[in-house]
């Protein structure tokens, strides 16, 4: 008879194989998780770079790629490659696209000869005029103002300081203050107008016709305090091209939005003026979906990630 084979030690071999396999799987999970986190962080970098570059669009596309690159390299200095490009979607030069890659090191994967893998991220952001804007102030400005429609303008920045005369604007009962609730049945009151100046109107307002607030007085203490509280900040003004009607039915036809950096104010009865300068801003708004949907470009845009 053949002696029985000695099977002692087989369980130990199987256990070693099992433990090695388990450690390999655990190592893979840890490395894959690390690579995923690296990719997620890189995606945040790409998103931030695209949004930053889009702030220069559509007016100064030559600066957009440089701004996007600065944001990307500041947040991810170990980039392996980076591509920044400006393209056109609704209006010329309105989209910023970023593609970046960087190495994501492995830890346990090095045991298998894998030092790192390349992770990549893509992002696109778009800058458009606004069909609807939020936080609007109830002060209207004519589209023919020299800093909006003069030679070589719109003109932005403190070197283009200007004074906006506020008061009677061409129709009885029209004093450049409008009812943002668009109710023709009387005035909303100085305290409401002051709140809209101090905080902006808390809803998205579209372009179109708005009624004048015929009872407004620029020297009202509430309105003066609200304006004073906004010194050194930007207000978003509705820009109009025509004014029709009289009294509470005086109607401003709003065609666009413009941001104004407020510096000082004067007032006398229903008349007044504010001094400051128009500026380019990124604002809270609903983007236009056509080339004319946001009206003329007076420097106020909304920016959104689109990819």
How many other C-beta atoms are found inside a 10 Å radius of the C-beta of residue 92? 12
Domain boundaries, the chain: 10-126, 132-305
Instruction: Please report the pLDDT score of residue 27 as a whole number.
Output: 59
pLDDT tops 80 at residue 215:
no
pLDDT tops 70 at residue 302:
yes
How many other C-beta atoms are found inside a 10 Å radius of the C-beta of residue 79? 16
Rounded alpha-carbon distances, angstroms, from residue 228 to 36, 195, 260, 266 = 50, 12, 14, 10
pLDDT tops 70 at residue 77:
yes
Nearest to 194 by CA among 284, 267, 298, 283: 267
Mean pLDDT to the nearest integer, 247-260:
91
CA distance 183 to 201: 15
Instruction: Please report the pLDDT score of residue 169 as a whole number.
Output: 79
Per-residue pLDDT tens digits for 79-90: 999 999 999 999
Instruction: Please report the pLDDT score of residue 84 as a whole number.
Output: 98
Identity of the highest mean pLDDT range in 16-25, 103-112, 148-157: 148-157
Average pLDDT, the chain: 88
- Return the axis-axis angle of helices 221-229 and 190-199, rounded to nearest 10°: 0
Mean pLDDT to the nearest integer, 205-220:
88
Per-residue pLDDT tens digits for 48-69: 999 999 999 999 999 999 999 9
Instruction: Please report the pLDDT score of residue 105 as a whole number.
Output: 76
Instruction: Please report the pLDDT score of residue 30 as a whole number.
Output: 64
Mean pLDDT to the nearest integer, 198-210:
97
> What torsion, rounded to 10 degrees, do the Cα atoms 258, 264, 268, 269 define?
50
pTM (whole model) above 0.75? yes
Q: Among the listed ranges 38-42, 46-50, 81-85, 205-209, which one has the minimum average pLDDT value? A: 38-42
Mean pLDDT to the nearest integer, 179-204:
88
CA distance 100 to 81: 6
Mean pLDDT to the nearest integer, 142-164:
96
- CATH fold of 10-126 reads 3.30.1300
Instruction: Please report the pLDDT score of residue 147 as a whole number.
Output: 97
pLDDT tops 90 at residue 216:
no
How many residues does this entry show for the chain?
A: 307
pLDDT tops 80 at residue 6:
no
Mean pLDDT to the nearest integer, 119-131:
96
**216/274: higher pLDDT:** 274
């Amino acid at each position: 008879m053949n002696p029985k084979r000695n099977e002692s030690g087989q369980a130990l071999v199987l256990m070693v194989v099992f433990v090695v396999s388990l450690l390999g799987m655990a190592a893979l999970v840890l490395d894959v998780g690390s690579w995923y986190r690296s990719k997620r962080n890189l995606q945040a970098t790409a998103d931030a770079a695209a949004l930053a570059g889009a702030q220069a669009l559509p007016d100064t596309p030559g600066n957009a790629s440089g701004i996007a690159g600065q944001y990307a390299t500041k947040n991810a200095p170990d980039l392996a490659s980076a591509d920044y490009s400006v393209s056109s979607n609704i209006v010329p030069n309105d989209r910023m696209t970023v593609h970046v890659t960087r190495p994501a090191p492995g830890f346990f994967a090095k045991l298998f000869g894998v030092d790192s893998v390349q992770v990549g991220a893509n992002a696109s952001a778009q800058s458009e005029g606004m069909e609807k804007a939020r936080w609007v102030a109830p002060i209207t400005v004519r589209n023919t103002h020299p800093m909006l429609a003069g030679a070589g303008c719109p003109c932005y920045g403190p070197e283009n300081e200007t004074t906006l005369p506020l008061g009677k604007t061409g129709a009885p009962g029209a004093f450049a203050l409008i009812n943002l609730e668009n109710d023709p049945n009387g005035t909303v009151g100085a305290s409401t107008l002051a709140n809209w100046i101090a905080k902006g109107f808390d809803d998205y307002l579209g372009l179109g016709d708005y009624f004048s607030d015929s009872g407004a007085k620029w020297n009202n203490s509430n309105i003066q305090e609200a304006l004073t509280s906004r010194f050194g900040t930007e207000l978003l003004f509705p820009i109009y091209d025509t004014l029709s009607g009289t009294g509470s039915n005086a109607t401003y036809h709003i065609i666009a939005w413009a941001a104004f950096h407020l510096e000082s104010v004067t007032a006398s009865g229903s008349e007044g003026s504010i001094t400051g300068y128009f500026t380019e801003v990124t604002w809270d708004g609903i983007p236009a979906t056509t080339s004319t949907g946001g009206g003329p470009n007076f420097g106020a845009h909304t920016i959104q990630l689109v990819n």
